[in-house]
Amino acid sequence: MGSVAEMAERVVVMYAGRKIEDGHVEDILLRPRHPYTRGLIACVPHLLDKVTSDRPFLQEVPGVVPPLSDFGFDGCMFAPRCDLVRDVCWQEKPADTNLTKTQSAACWDLVTSNESTNA
């Protein structure tokens, strides 16, 4: 993530072959809106943070990436791993939603706060 923050202006986050979020690097890193993006950023080790039961040294996104045979699935590919999953997530692929002029994401339950999430 450090290289992305220093070298790129925009970032596209993909999950299981689908674009789930894109925007300016600062928007994505400081205000991730898709649950997978938030989980991915939370996985970055923070060397200066205290290791606690709430914040272990290394975090992970729970579950496993779906097999290639599931890539034709009509719903959200992240649904089996998502803590915000709803019935619609299993039935329909979420549309890309413009959140700001520079950031969009595809999720039925986006984090819409403009404040930093510090995932």
Which of 6-10, 17-21, 51-55 has the weakest average pLDDT?
51-55
Sequence-ordered list of residues with C-beta below 8 angstroms from that of 19, at least 6 positions apart, any chain? 12, 13, 96, 106
Tokens of 79: 């649904």
* Gyration radius (Cα) of the chain, Å: 15
Reported as a single tens digit per residue, the pLDDT across 56-114 is: 566 788 888 888 888 878 899 999 999 999 999 999 999 999 999 999 999 999 865 44
Dmax over CA atoms of the chain, in Å, equals 42
pLDDT band at residue 119 using 50, 70 and 90 as cut-offs = very low
CB 106 within 8 A of CB 96: yes
- What letter does residue 61 receive in the DSSP assignment? -
Instruction: State how far the Cα of 105 lies from the Cα of 33, in Å rounded to an integer.
Output: 7
Which of 18-27, 36-45, 99-108 has the weakest average pLDDT?
36-45
Residue 42: helix, strand or coil by DSSP? helix
Q: Which helix (H) or strand (E) holds 14?
A: strand 10-15
- The residue type found at 65 is V
